[in-house]
Structure 1
Amino acid sequence: MNALSTLYDLDYPSWAAETAELLRQGRFSELDLDHLVEELDDMGKSQRHELVSRLRILLAHLLKWQFQYRQLSERWAEYEGKSWRNTLIEQRLALGYLLEESPGLKGKINEAVTKAYSQAVELAARESELPLKTFPASCPYTQAQILDPDFYPDVE
């Protein structure tokens, strides 16, 4: 175990700074490769997890918007869907930023939607108290609709 490997366990920010400096200087033989590979793997997993997480919330709110309307229609004028609208706006902005900062994730959106959708259905069902069968078995929204800041599904 070299000094850099020990530093990883004791002072992660210093390890990261030292690793970055070694990479900039091309001193590859001095790198703590095991921890560096682990961190790079974790970064990718973390970004994909954030993508799925944001899509789960966004999709759940799109589903509630579309399918819970009937329950709230009498109160809709007072309610105006502000909370759902605000969540949709917030999640779409956060997704836009995530995709801008990590453009490699753009090719993972469809896969992430597939992972997030079943969770979104469960979340929407629990929050709305509607039966699971209320919601489509697969995602009814296109990638373009999901990311479109002006898209709100027609209510059923």
Structure 2
Amino acid sequence: MNNDYNSDYVTWLEIQSELLRKGDYDNVDLDHLIKHLEYLAREEKEKLRYLAYKIIVNLLLIDYWKIQKQSIPYWLGEVDDYQFQLNEKLTVNHKILLNIVVDEIYLMSKRTASRISGMEQEHFPQICPYTLDDILHK
């Protein structure tokens, strides 16, 4: 089964699915399947973090970069898009994860908002001014 994994990933996935459906566990490529599942979990967490980051950057620009008021409708549209994507993926466990990492995400978001706006990072709040509910629905 290893050759299929390395040469034709999609076919390998289809074969693994069929083997699992049939209950033919002896022929399942467990090593690669475990690696694939770990990769998918890691990728999903990264996507959630990225969406929360993009939402916070745009909220900071909306709330603190008053000179660029004409850009607010664009940023609101961006927030809506990222919130839609995030809410589509969100589970209870994802909410717990985001609550744990929101401060870390905020620091990166603040840095990015500072670079976009040209304002010093000190212009933005020291700690994240947005709750998870704000990030998901504001």
Same fold at TM > 0.5? yes
The answer to whether the aligner puts 1:36 opposite 2:33 as a matched pair is yes
Q: Compared with structure 1, are the counterparts of its residues 130 and 38 closer, same or farther at alpha carbon in structure 2 (3 Å cutoff)?
A: same
Match of 2:77?
A: 86
CA 1:80–1:9: 2 relative to 1, 3 Å? closer
Question: What is the Cα-based RMSD across aligned positions, in Å?
Answer: 1.5
**Structure 2 counterpart of 1:64:** 61
Structure 2: how far apart are the matches of 1:113 and 1:84?
20
Partner of 2:129: 140
Q: Secondary structure at the match of 1:81?
A: helix
Show the counterpart of 1:154: none
1:109-136 Cα distance to aligned partner (Å, 9 max, x none) = 2124233211111110000111011112
In the TM superposition, what are the counterparts of 1:1-156 in structure 2 within 5 Å?
4-69=1-66, 71-72=67-68, 76=69, 79=70, 81-99=72-90, 104-148=93-137, 151=138
Note the alpha carbon deviations across 1:1-35, whole angstroms, 9 max, x for none.
xxx11110010000000001111111111111111
Matched residue count: 138
Task: Look up the equivalent residue of 1:131 and give its one-letter code.
Answer: E
Largest Rg, 1 or 2: 1
Percent identity among equivalent residues? 26
Structure 1 unaligned blocks of 5 or more: 152-156
In structure 1, C-alpha distance between the alignment counterparts of 2:49 and 2:100, rounded to whole Å: 9
The alignment partner of 2:128 has SS state of coil
Change (3 A) 1:23 1:104: farther
Structure 2 distance, partners of 1:111, 1:52, is 11
| CA gap 1:80/1:122 in 2 versus in 1, 3 angstroms | closer
The structure that is helix-richer by fraction is: 2
Q: In 2, are the aligned partners of 1:48 and 1:112 still within 8 Å (CA)?
A: no
Which residue identity lines up with residue 127 of structure 1 in the other structure?
I
Q: TM-score, normalised by structure 1?
A: 0.82
Cα displacement string for residues 81-103 of structure 1 (whole angstroms, at most 9, x for unaligned residues) = 1111111111111111121xx55
What SS does structure 2 have at the residue aligned with 1:124? helix
TM norm structure 2: 0.92
